A and B are shown apart, each in its own frame.
Chain A
Amino acid sequence: MSENYPALLVIVPLLSAFAIYACSWLHKKSCLPLAITGLSISFLISIGLLIKVLHRGPFSYHLGGWTPPWGIAYELDQINALVLLAVTTVALVNLIATGKEIERLFADRKGAFYALYLLFVVGLLGIVVTGDLFNLYVLLEIASITGYSLIAMGESARAPISSLNYVFMGTIGACFYLLGVGYMYIMTGSLNMADVRGLLPPLYHSSAILAAFIFCLVGVMIKMGFFPLHFWLPNAYTYAPSPAASLIAPLMTKVMAYVMIRLMVSVFSPSFVFSSISASRGIVWLACLAIIIGAVMALSQRDIRRMLTYIIVSEIGYIVGGAWLGNATAMSGAILHILNDALMTLCVFLAVGAVSRKLGRLYIEDLAGLFKKMPFTMAGFVAGGISIIGVPPTCGFFSKWYLILGAIEANNYGFVAALIISSLINVALFFRIIETAFMGNPHTAAIGHEWTSGIQEVSLTTLVPLLVVTTGLVILGIFSGVVVTQVIRPGLTGVF
């Protein structure tokens, strides 16, 4: 049984997705329990996989017993086991937290929503676990297409348009990636990552391989919303229905950032990435711009969810910059930040989703006096904000620590400055909201929501997951030392 964990990880939610859709014709009530069960199994398997990898070291699993390079292999190492765990955790917690909201929003279409939700997760899990370049493309499209559809299901009239915009950009990104893979296939005759890695070194000077790498990189960067290729992102995530936003926003960009790191370390080698092509300095500068411009754009937003989407643009800058600084410390920081940012983003999006369920609109001034009405939700929001600012002992501090340390080691003080400045802007961003929610009086006549006296929290099914995530921020922070020394660093052995 445990031998087949890698396959089950992906297949269980895949089959559940079909089962749910069938179920929505027969017995609508069992859709949500089915979806939760499917993701729970996936979640448990991802824990099992992480333990197994830590125990035995990296291993590969051959789908259907076909050996690579002909068959498709799933590769597991410490780092992607960690990312898998992050994906399943976020997907599961978000589903539990927003289940009620989904039932309310999509009473007649919920079969479709749950099925898309699970297929999206299947896509992401597959992307992370696969060891095959073309298989990655297929799964990337699965995740993207389901993502487009989830976003298009938003209530706002602008949802379909932003989704369409995302479709264009996403498709261009996917094409770039596919082109790159094509070039690599032409040159090496293989699609298996490990195999390609072995075949590439003699070809490092070929311009076709250079082109392949650049195509793949650009494709992935479009998908992760890396500045200046981020224009699709704010609209898509703002107008998505809130249960979908809190799934896609924490995961999609982060998984794509992981794919970039995967390409850099497992397909190409750092010696090629950092020395053969002299792009690293330029990309780190772009990352600095991403960080600063993302933060400044966030500052100019009135809608809180839109503000958070620009923070994502900025956070992606952290990860890309960390990955391209070219040392183990910064790379560890980037990988740690993938996990941390997934959790932080989930935390703030869940809180904001809960607030929007009450208020409908999410302009900063609408939150006046909200600490009196929704103290626990706001506490969760504050915790997420503090983590994004990077205050210890929340996890955001520790990834920032490794990133700054790595930048100092690489003598790149521009990146240090960018990180510090964006932290300072984040202080302004979050305390602007906290101040409004703390000082003002609940006055929401403008948006048609009348508060009655006393505390009016959202239901416990939302609150408990939110508080779990909040605690998770601190726990992950406190144990980040363990994560880095026991999991991430061993995963990077032989790389740097």
Chain B
Amino acid sequence: MTLLAYLLLSGLTTGALYALIALGIVVVNKATGVINFAHGELFMFSGFFAWMLHVQMGVPYLPALLLAVAFGFMLGVLIDLTAFRPLKNSDVISLVLATIGIAFMLRGTARVLWGGKSDYLPFPPITSPEPVMIGELMVIPQQLLVLAGAIVIMLVFAAFFRLTRAGKMMQATADNAKASTLVGIRVDRIYMLSFGTGAAIAAAAAVLMAPLTLLYPDMGFSFFIKGFAAAVLGGLTSLPGAVVGGVAIGVIEALAGGYLHSSFIEVSAFIVIMFVLIARPTGLFGPSGLRRV
């Protein structure tokens, strides 16, 4: 029983991270209809940036977190300006490949700036590494912090979308860009805001996660693919779906890793993706697609 509880908690924690990444992907996709394949690299790069601030420059954790989130936001805006805007009317292939190109530029830059292929940078934990006992469960405080932090961030963004004007404008644009233009919403600005927000969420996730694992330039893609799987599972345009999807994948991974074999951790996300896409391509909460001719 304890193993199960432990695995669930572990899965919940990583799941919360995947949920945040998925959220960032869905925010951008909902508004612009585009999947930003550089999303994982945004996550990675912001993480390294926070590392640089906190570890190399001695900036305290919380300010480093906020600066990294702001930095992430700007990276997102940069992607909007360099890749999305010039290609807004092109086909899917072009947009996907362009964001992939940017992903590689970011990855290469991180590698050049902060480490070669096998350098893994440690990020000091915020809380003491001493595990505490909750009931029968041995828990590392950092995990709880991640979970709590993720929940806080999700609530903040939920509030942002529901309560602020900008958030509502983003929803409107996502629903109907043309109509939004007609009521005076500056759709271009909203796209930029969406890219920035999506990236900011990724940055927050990175800084939350950094103390738990090591940073390395190739991590972007593996988190992206899991976030993407979570987003697809939840239906690419559903924000709550992204959260559910993320948690589901985190838990599935933990259970597979614990009960089957550790090597299954890597691959469960892919198996999930393949099954979901074949059985119900629009995900759990997505719309059922009808093609109009």
Do A and B truly interact?
Answer: no
Using CB atoms and an 8 Å cutoff, list the residues of chain A in contact with chain B: none
Using CB atoms and an 8 Å cutoff, list the residues of chain B in contact with chain A: none
